[in-house]
Amino acid sequence: MSDHRSPELQVRLFASLREQLGWGEKRIPFPEGDQVTALAVWDALQLGPWPSGVRVAVNQQFVARDQRLEVDDELAFLPPFSGG
Amino acid sequence: MMNLPFCLRSVVVNHSLFDHCVQVEVRPEPFSPWSELERWSPADAALAMFVGRVRGKSVDGAPLQALELEHYPGMTEARIAEEAEVAMASCGACSALVLHRVGRLNPGEVIVLVAVAADRRGPAQSCCASLLEALKHDAPIWKREWCRDLGSWLEGNTPR
């Protein structure tokens, strides 16, 4: 049986970013374009200027914010860590 | 990206690579580091450990009501386990135990236990220190201080 789902991306926000932007997790349509990156998604979601110290994870691995994304990736924007 | 074999059981990650044994766990409930150390109890000659607890004051010096800890489930455990493997290989240590709290903690409660076993004190102590620093900088965990019913997220770590 063929899968007719539209291509999507899972986006997650944590801690201060989640509270500033008012949501923690959502599935969004996969943006159009040849080079879909975390930075492009940030801009497409109109999340404002890139905050200092924010890191990016794709499928729970750190990546550069200009790494190309794939359909169904889990993209997370991570504010500076303070554990331990 | 190194492909590490590990089994994920709830919030526990057990790594076993290069004859190292790593146990990582993120817990929402309080724990006693002393009981956990007794339970862990590796046979190696040297054990080094660090226990981190909640301060009674905020970074601004105000009396602290509580400390809230949030994490990225799955990624936190995997990152700490990978950092432990790197630190143990680099320092020559044999096994590591990392327990980290999440949720709302009161002043004085234990936040983190890092314990490392090795054949000698040098590798045990250096691995424990380096694993703690790696955890602080690379594990997706966030703290929010609560003072006078107001919460503020911490941006980064306290000095060593």
The tokens describing A72, both together, are 């169904």
CA-CA distance, B135 to B141, in Å (whole number)?
A: 9
Question: Which tops the pLDDT comparison, A16 or B158?
Answer: A16
Segment (H or E) for B77: helix B75-91
CATH fold group of domain A8-78: Ubiquitin-like (UB roll) (3.10.20)
Is B93 a domain residue? yes
- Whether chain B has a CB inside 8 Å of the CB on A80: the answer is yes
Closest CA to B149 of B72, B24, B62: B62
pLDDT cut 70: percent of chain A above it: 96
Rounded CA separation A24/B140 (Å): 15
Q: Is residue B91 part of a domain?
A: yes
Residue B148 lies in a domain: yes
pLDDT in tens, B41-84: 899 999 999 999 999 999 999 999 999 999 999 999 999 999 99
How many percent of chain B have pLDDT more than 90? 83
Range of the domain at B58: 18-152
List the single best residue of B8, B13, B24, B154 to mutate versus A (max A Cβ within 10 A). B154
- Sort out which chain B residues have CB atoms less than 8 A from A14's CB and list them: 70, 72, 140, 142
Residues contacting residue A13 through CB under 8 Å, at least 6 positions apart: A21, A23, A24, A25, A76, A77
3-state secondary structure of B146: strand
Report the DSSP beta bridge partners of residue A58. Answer: A61, A75
Of residues B18 and B108, more confidently modeled: B108
The total of structural domains in chain B comes to: 1
Supply the CATH number for residue B40's domain: 3.90.1170.40
The mean of the pLDDT values for chain A is 93
Separation of alpha carbons B106 and B28, rounded Å: 13
In this prediction, residues B97-104 reach a mean pLDDT of 98
